[in-house]
Structure 1
Amino acid sequence: MAPPKSLPDPIAPAQLDASGYEFSEQIGHLLRRAYQRHLAIFSQTIDDPQLTAVQFAVLSANRRLGPSSMSDLGKATAIDGATVRGIIERLQARGLVELQSSPDDRRKSIVELTGRGHALLEQTTPTAARISELTMSDLNAVERVAVLHLLRKLCGPDGE
């Protein structure tokens, strides 16, 4: 049996031929297009037309973590602090979350789902799972496992 071939070293940027570069075949472009497709499916399918995918992610993270700081919700959802603050303000305006001062640090706000927030998650979570299925509908079972594995790997160590 022949020994396994090692993978080639990555091509140094100086070695790339610009004439062969096609942006539409690059990972960033393809990831963006796949994400745009997912967002379109989400907005067309979700039970609450006012709910965005990132709002759903923040609500879901808050349900999983329990009462949480905005910073913790930002880390859990990979959303920067300023953006997560705006999302939480919109969710609060809809009565889906409430903010309270932390008993440990009065400068810190704790985000907690309201009854309406819990009810919305109960209603929309099955649809969100269906949205994931619709996004991957052109993939067979093996491809679905592979793409999720590879995306987690691309996110870096520990999904960071």
Structure 2
Amino acid sequence: MATGLTPTQFSVMYRLSEVGSVSQNQLGRSVAMDGATTKGVVDRLIARGLLTTRPDPDDRRRHLVSLTDAGWEVFEASVMIAHEVTADTLSALTAAEQRTLVRLLAKIQ
């Protein structure tokens, strides 16, 4: 991706854009990643200044992960790129075929 995000990093940022601040454990479960993988992805995104953590006000043992302002900018640029890639990928199909493919893919999420 031109924003330098891997698909896994994009999925983490996409989920955070949907749900807001969550614990690293919840984040990993929501994107179907094990704890070690989640930690690595989160650490790399923190190092790039795209994510931040803060103590959970309800449980001081836990930290909440969220997008930074820079993270939102990179995420929004990535979404635009993803839409372009999707449009290019689907361009060989008719409109009806595109709708069918998208409908079928939604069933296996």
- Distance across 1 between alignment mates of 2:71 and 2:58: 25
**Structure 1 residue corresponding to 2:91, chosen from 130, 137, 142:** 137
Indicate the SS of the match to 1:91.
helix
Cα gap change, 1:144 to 1:97, in 2 (>3 Å)? same
More strand per residue? 2
- Distance across 2 between alignment mates of 1:147 and 1:80: 29
Indicate the SS of the match to 1:107.
strand
The 5-angstrom pairing of residues 72-91 of structure 1 reads 72-91=26-45
**Pairwise CA RMSD of aligned residues?**
1.8
| 1:52 is aligned to 2:6 | yes
Which structure: larger Rg?
Answer: 1
**What is aligned with 1:106?**
60
Q: How far off its partner does 1:58 sit?
A: 1.0
| 1:126 is aligned to 2:80 | yes
Cα gap change, 1:135 to 1:64, in 2 (>3 Å)? same
Percent of aligned pairs sharing the same letter:
37
TM-score (norm 1): 0.60
Q: Which amino acid aligns with 1:133?
A: A
Corresponding pairs, count = 109
**What is aligned with 1:92?**
46
Q: Which amino acid aligns with 2:39?
A: R
**What is aligned with 1:151?**
105
1:67-102 Cα distance to aligned partner (Å, 9 max, x none): 111233223323333222211111001010011121
Q: Which moved more, 1:54-63 or 1:139-148?
A: 139-148
Q: How far off its partner does 1:135 sit?
A: 2.6
Indicate the SS of the match to 1:135.
helix
**What is aligned with 2:15?**
61
The structure whose RCO (Cα within 8 Å, separation 6+) is larger is 2
Q: Mind listing any 5+ residue stretches in structure 2 that lack a counterpart? A: none
